[in-house]
Structure 1
Amino acid sequence: MARPQPGHRSRHGGIAIPTHHPRTYVPTVAEADAWADVLVRHQLLHAAVLAPTGQWLVQHRPETPVLVLDGATAVVELAAEIQHRVRTTRNHTR
């Protein structure tokens, strides 16, 4: 079995995953909009709306409070968190 690379961790003997991906660019509004659309379309978020201030209004479920995210970077980071959670949950059920 291969050892995890530095900066990676293995979970339950599974594939080593990076603990942090350094961002080499600033996400655009278009990228954040695309991710928001995918998350809503796949029902991973109830709503995600870009406000005129550049902030994003996000709601996980209809009954939960609206969160205010500060810009495109926050939306892309939320998408990464949700994707990680979905993959982790999927791997635990296999």
Structure 2
Amino acid sequence: MNPRSLRSSEPATAEAGAWADVLVRLQLLHAVVPTPTRQWLVQDRPDGPVRVLASPAAVLPLVATIQQRTRSTRPECR
């Protein structure tokens, strides 16, 4: 039996990249690009300003904010 690896408190670059791909694919963001310094460049619209996120960990709160905004504007279907 293999021991389960524990998740570190710092999200992996791969996790942040996966979320970034989803947000761009769903057209919720225009671009999300990692840099060699572990910063991430984020652009909401093609003509919008570029924001700099300090690390992969900073991508996850952005994802949460977008999810919350998307869910709060979606009509209830229950």
Tell me the equivalent position of 2:12.
28
Q: TM-score, normalised by structure 1?
A: 0.69
Q: TM-score, normalised by structure 2?
A: 0.83
Q: Give 4+ residue runs of structure 1 displaced > 3 Å after superposition.
A: none
Q: Provide the C-alpha distance between the structure 1 equivalents of 2:10 and 2:57, rounded to a whole number of angstroms.
A: 7
Once the two structures are superposed, the pairs formed by residues 1-94 of structure 1 within 5 Å of their partners are 25-90=9-74, 93-94=75-76
Gaps of 5+ in 2: 1-7
Structure of greater Rg: 1
Structure number with higher relative contact order (C-alpha < 8 Å, ≥ 6 residues apart): 2
Aligned residues: 69
The alignment yields a C-alpha RMSD, in angstroms, of 1.2
The Cα of 1:88 is off from its aligned counterpart by 0.7
